Structure 1
Amino acid sequence: MSRCIAWAWAGLVLGVGWLAGAEAGKDGPPPQIGIFALKGMAGPGALQDVWGDLLRSEAVRKELGICPEQLDALRKISHKATEAVRRNFEEMQELRDAAPEVRSRKFAEIAARARSEAEETRGQIERVLRPNQLARLKQLALQLRGVAALEDKEIQEELKLTEEQKRQLKMLRESAVQQMREWWRPGVPMKPEARREKFRALLKEGEAKAMAILTAAQKAQFEEMKGAKFDLSDVRARGGGPPKP
């Protein structure tokens, strides 16, 4: 297994994108269809959802100071997670022609198993990394996810978001997802580049609206939680997290 493939599990087992799912699909289906459905199966609101995307970056590993022994341990973790993702995806593919009630029941079972597997994987990664490495990884995850992280329970608690703020963020995301579904609806004529441009515009608008929901103090705290800025362009180029608007 190549190094890139070994780290590719993150976007599948631990990936929960706010708007990133559609961009990852490029000209394919919208989020929650086919393999992209796996992005939400680890459970919404997971700060760790892009850890693997980050750890497969050599620049990030250097930033964290990952030693050879840690890298070997992380590769073993990723191999196990990759196999779990493959199994879940294959089972989902088998449900394409199943009756709606059967498909719904089986999908729920697969989703529950994926959440359990994701929690296990996160724990394994946490045990491999030193406290300072884990803290920096969380900062980089926030930088990569951006406003998507505002729906993470851990982040909401730290920022002390009100129930109304949580409701507004949820409505904003649902509206964006609905818009993207329209773009991928069968029979909607749209060139690939036009679709990508619309996505980027939607991403930029969504980011501005999400930040506007926060108070000035919450905005400042959110930026502080990201730590020192780090160039994650190579991670984004591989499909980890949304592109910059």
Structure 2
Amino acid sequence: MLVRSQNSLLVCAAIALFAAPVLAQPGGGRGGRGGGFGGGAGFGASKHLPVAGALRSEEVREEIELMPDQIEALKKLNDRENNRRGQDRPDFRNMSEEERGEFMAKMQKEREAQMEESNAMLEQILLPPQLDRLREIAIQMTGINALFSDYVTTELKITDAQKSKLTEAQTASQAKMREKMQEMFAGQGRGGNQGGERPDRDAMRAQVEELRKSVEGDLLAVLSTEQQANFEKLKGEKFELPERAFGGRGGEAGGRGGRPQRGGEGRGQRRGGDRQRPESSQE
């Protein structure tokens, strides 16, 4: 019974560990990693874009060119969020599966409320161009899970029927992820890793990346061709966020985050150039 409980905790830990760094930034960026699909379809999907969370990155703050008074206001907002986050930490090891599920549901509900409040405050702190660019970066960070946010749903005019299909695909992805993780841990327990060592992180990373591509395809297939194109436009100019921003090892090849350098483009130029707001699908 203890072994089963420990395995369950390991599966949960693996999902949490790889959902952000692996699913948030697949190939295409600096050193083979960049802003694309993210957040892990089926894991951490929220109706709010993580714009406040994106500002925890120094590179993001530099990208939107915060002013001193804005930095001070954001520091106060961040301190308040940190105080909230440090409260009510449970002992998952001594919880039953049902208790863990109830706690996670409660945390998700509280997280949604906090994100809604923080996002509303950011609208008062940031200038419209800053907020626009921040949303673009947040969509890149969140990736395919951004399809579940109110902002993207509205911009793409996702229908109720499409929402139902997206939710079904999301649920299926959760089941596939759990099954894959359990198989990986079970394989290690049968002798795939001697001496009870933890599973190989690189092997897990590769398998999760393979699953990520499958899930991404399933969710994008729900959208029309026009909606898919407009979803890409909502991401704006690509922004390479260092892996360390997700708790990883840091940007590969020692690179910092930020926009790709384009022959002589100055920092004072408006992010995203003359990008037009995408035309929403009529479907």
Q: So what's the TM-score if we normalise by structure 1?
A: 0.69
Trace 1:180-195 onto structure 2 (pairs within 5 A): 180-185=177-182, 187-189=186-188, 190-195=199-204
Structure 1 unaligned spans of 5+: 1-19, 27-38
Change (3 A) 1:141 1:100: closer
Q: Please name the residue that 1:23 is paired with.
A: 18
- Distance in 2, matches of 1:213 and 1:170, equals 10
Change (3 A) 1:213 1:102: closer
Per the TM alignment, residue 101 of structure 1 is displaced from its structure 2 partner at its CA by 6.9
Larger helix proportion, structure 1 or 2?
Answer: 1
Moved more, 180-189 or 147-156: 180-189
Per the TM alignment, residue 124 of structure 1 is displaced from its structure 2 partner at its CA by 2.2
Structure 2 unaligned spans of 5+: 1-14, 22-42, 189-198, 249-283
Per the TM alignment, residue 218 of structure 1 is displaced from its structure 2 partner at its CA by 0.9
Instruction: Please tell me the residue identity of whatever aligns with 1:51.
Output: A
- Distance in 2, matches of 1:105 and 1:146, equals 27
Residues 57-96 of structure 1, C-alpha deviations (whole Å, 9 max, x = no match): 33322221101221121111111101111114x1x33x65
Contact 1:142–1:149 (Cα < 8 Å) also in 2: yes
Share of identical aligned residues, percent? 30
Instruction: Please tell me the residue identity of whatever aligns with 1:136.
Output: R
* 1:231 maps to 2:232: no
Q: Report the RMSD for the aligned CA atoms in angstroms.
A: 3.1
Instruction: Please tell me the residue identity of whatever aligns with 1:187.
Output: A
Per the TM alignment, residue 46 of structure 1 is displaced from its structure 2 partner at its CA by 1.5
Contact 2:46–2:149 (Cα < 8 Å) also in 1: yes
- Of the candidates 132, 137, 150, which is equivalent to residue 135 of structure 1? 132
Q: Please name the residue that 1:170 is paired with.
A: 167
Number of residue pairs the alignment of both structures matches: 202
Per the TM alignment, residue 240 of structure 1 is displaced from its structure 2 partner at its CA by 7.4
Q: So what's the TM-score if we normalise by structure 2?
A: 0.61
Trace 1:20-169 onto structure 2 (pairs within 5 A): 21-24=16-19, 40=44, 44-47=46-49, 49-52=50-53, 54-88=54-88, 90=89, 92-93=90-91, 97=94, 109-169=106-166
Per the TM alignment, residue 162 of structure 1 is displaced from its structure 2 partner at its CA by 2.5
